[in-house]
Copies of this chain bind each other. A is one copy, B any other.
Amino acid sequence: MRTTRALICTSDSHTVKGGIGPRESLTLGHEAVGVVHAVGDEVRDFRPGDRVLAGAITPDWGDRATQNGFPSQSGGPLGGFKFANSKDGVFADYFHVNDADANLAKIPDTVSDEAAVYCADMLSTGFMGAEKGMIPIGGTVAVLALGPVGLMAVAGARLCGAGLVIGVESVPARQKLARSYGADEIVDFTSENVDERILELTRCQGVDTAIEALGADPTFQTAVRITKPGGTVSNIGYFGEGEFVRIPRLEWGVGMADKTIATGLCPGGRLRMERLLRLLETQRVDPSPMTTHEFSFDDMERAFEVSDKKLEDVVKVLITF
């Protein structure tokens, strides 16, 4: 593929810092759209010139983990996450996609590259948080941390039928975006007691689903505490450090309160990407307002710095090629 647009992800920072082990001599980046440059002999459905999206996760579809229902885990834990882990990533003029017929999707004419590129990871991961959260229709959901994945978890919770979506976040610009994506209430942890406020908003029941979108031990603990018995903690955070993630024993009902902890890695694949693109095509959600910064590929160093250090109220940085 010839890259046209890419996004910088927090997990790029994690990768650089060794969050899932050392990585060397690999191009970074896993969120991109572009144009098919050349295809292998066995590719049937794509041709040079096609405007396409590649999932951030590009599984091996014949693998046993895939046959078990978990393509993102093909080839070992997180093995579907190939870009920047087992093959060169997308921050390059050209990049290669394994099994194009299974891992690419054509971008509909009415969907821009700038919007489509968010499907690769942000929509897929954020929505997964809602899907794995088993939200009952009309149920209550809290999303903890409203970075781009958390914002898409808010949008996903709405798409999955939540009757009340509570965002937990302190940055005003992110709070505002969250409201535009469907958060009914915002709790600012710098000025409010999160547990008390959420109990109040749920009439002392706790939420049906708590989505952890940060990847930090204290946030995870909050998620367990605010979830009602029978509810689900849905983790989409990438825990980048520490030896343990800790479950608070008593609030977990000493292990017997029917609080399920679900997790996963961004789903990839052509079908997933086509479905996400359809949601853009039929205007269910517009991710482009999350783009707070835009740099050309030549300014990649600065772009990465802005994203990594969270400068200038950054939400998401778009790279143009």
Question: Which residues of A46-83 are within 8 A (CB) of B?
Answer: 61-73, 76-78
CB distance from A221 to the nearest CB of B (A): 8
A236, A249, A260 — which one has the most chain B CB atoms within 10 A of its CB? Answer: A249
Asked if A238 and B257 make an inter-chain contact with CB atoms under 8 angstroms apart, the answer reads no
Asked if A77 and B229 make an inter-chain contact with CB atoms under 8 angstroms apart, the answer reads yes
Asked if A237 and B263 make an inter-chain contact with CB atoms under 8 angstroms apart, the answer reads no
Closest to A246 in B: B244
The verdict on A96 contacting chain B, using a C-beta distance below 8 Å, is no
Closest to A259 in B: B263
Closest to A205 in B: B64
CB distance from A23 to the nearest CB of B (A): 14
| Chain B residues with CB under 8 A of A263 | 252-253, 255-260
The verdict on A197 contacting chain B, using a C-beta distance below 8 Å, is no
Asked if A256 and B78 make an inter-chain contact with CB atoms under 8 angstroms apart, the answer reads yes
The verdict on A167 contacting chain B, using a C-beta distance below 8 Å, is no
Give the contact stretch, choosing among A25-33, A109-117, A173-181, A277-285: A277-285
A241 to B255, CA, bound (A): 11
| Chain B residues with CB under 8 A of A160 | 137, 160-161
One digit per residue, 1 when the CB lies within 8 angstroms of any chain B CB and 0 when it does not, for chain A 152-166 equals 000010011101100
